Chain A
Amino acid sequence: MPSLKQYRTRIASVKSTQKITSAMKMVAAAKLRRAQEKAEAARPYAERMSRMLGSLAGSLSGGAGAPALLAGTGRSEVHLVVVATSDRGLCGAFNSSIVRGARAHVRQLLSEGKQVRIFCVGRKGRDQLRRDFAKLIVGSMEDVGRRSLSFADAQRITDRILQMFAAGEFDVCSLFYARFRSAITQIVTRQQLIPFAIEGGAGEATAAGGAVYEYEPDEEQILAELLPRNLSVQVFRALLENNASEQGARMTAMDNATRNAGDMIKRLTLSYNRQRQASITKELIEIISGAEAV
């Protein structure tokens, strides 16, 4: 049975923990709003980019001269798995569920006899993956978007990916991140980056424009610029989604933690009061029985 003093210190410590978690929840909520705004602001660019790419790919489809970023290397022996997680913890199952998704994918690829390389964005994912696949990790990047996530961050990642692709270090590249649905649900998503999968089919894009485009300079040159750019845009979008998801997950986790701390304080206060009353009663009994004995 803990003493009264022990109860008091327990309650004080849980209270200060609760203060921290509720402050973190507040901060996460504010950051979440900003992250969501940013994700929405970036949407028009990504949409127009994929529309443009769709019409270009449509006019090139079937051509043997399609660049490797679009058509792939024709093999699927070596896979690069990019895992985007956060640098910080205390955000519920956010990081572990991304890592779990990635790990399952890597295991499946390995069992199919493929080679796998892993590139980690974010400290938490790297730490968790290092336990199982330390030999497969080819690189990692931290402090992405520490202050605020910018397109340059995405470009840095893309540059690394493109460098490796140009050096022929992998054939297929996919990206793991958590898509933001709400503060409560985040969906772990796998997106194939290389070769690029065009959404909605190529035929539709030319039909939407109603006419065939002219190209200036020519299609190959535009594609050569557009494809790496599109890669950065996809990575950027994934990072933004991830950022929003992280804040959402943290907000929910911290909300739960605050509530749990509240429950704990209630329980502890109850036991404390009971103990206090018990000791008062005990003292009274002692006084009364002492008085009676005289």
Chain B
Amino acid sequence: MADKVEFELVSPERLLLSRSVDMVVVPGAEGDFGVLRGHAPLISTLRLGVIDVHDAGGVSDRIFVAGGFAEVTAERCTVLAEQAVPVADLDRAGIEDEIRSLRDSLAVADGDAERGALAARIAVAEAKLAYA
């Protein structure tokens, strides 16, 4: 596996993915970046987006991530995601329902902190919808 990179995706609850792949494309805070073996060491924050795992000549996995960090060294790429859902598991109707109920609770929410938290959740859900 001379030209492979060890990719690990971890969420607070569990280890989601750990294997060697050809390339991963990570949605960094300042733009997507692809990680191949021999990448310069890098630590970056993530924005809402999708991680593309390239393996065996094509995209093998697409995983939606919301916030977190990526650590890249020459041999491995570790992503610590706050939320991670495989794109194939995103359910359009479910997310639309979620957005609707979040909007409803936003309408009756009081206090800036609560409102901010709800708005953040809506943003995450909307980003999910774009990929579903």
Contact = CB atoms under 8 A, between A and B. Distances in A.
Interface string A216-244: 11000110011001001100100000000
Contacts of B42: 213-216
Interface string B57-83: 000000000000101011000101010
Contacts of A75: none
A167 interface: no
Interface stretch (B11-19, B87-95, B98-106): B11-19
Interface string B27-55: 01110000000001111110000000000
A42 B45 contact: no
A222 B80 contact: no
Contacts of A236: 12
B12 A52 contact: no
Contact of A45 (B12, B41, B71): B12
A226 B69 contact: yes
Nearest to A216: B44
A209 interface: yes
Given A45-B80, A222-B69, A214 B12 contact: no
A214 B74 CA distance: 12
A65 interface: no
Contacts, number: 80
B11 A45 contact: yes
Given A45-B80, A226-B69, A151 B13 contact: yes
A215 B13 contact: no
A85 interface: no
Contacts of B73: 209-211
Contact of B80 (A49, A214, A221): A49
Contacts of B71: 48, 51-52, 213
Interface in A185-217: 209-217
A122 B41 CA distance: 42
A221 B28 CA distance: 13
Contact of A55 (B11, B43, B44): B43
Among A52, A150, A233, chain B packs the most CB atoms within 10 A around the CB of: A52
A216 B13 contact: no
A41 B15 contact: yes
- Interface range on chain A (Cβ under 8 Å from partner): 20 to 34
A233 B80 CA distance: 11
B78 A213 contact: no
B97 to A, nearest CB: 19
A63 interface: no
Given A211-B73, A216-B28, A217-B30, A150 B45 contact: no
A249 interface: no
Contact of B12 (A42, A51, A55): A42
Contacts of A45: 10-13, 15, 80
B43 to A, nearest CB: 5
A42 B14 contact: yes
A91 interface: no
A44 interface: yes
A28 interface: no
A227 B42 CA distance: 18
A253 interface: no
Nearest to A37: B14
B31 to A, nearest CB: 9
Given A45-B11, A52-B43, 12 more contacts: A42-B14, A45-B15, A45-B80, A210-B73, A211-B40, A214-B41, A215-B42, A215-B44, A217-B30, A222-B43, A222-B45, A229-B69
Listed from nearest, the 10 A-B pairs whose CB atoms lie closest are A41-B14, A216-B44, A151-B12, A213-B41, A45-B10, A44-B15, A214-B42, A211-B41, A213-B43, A44-B10
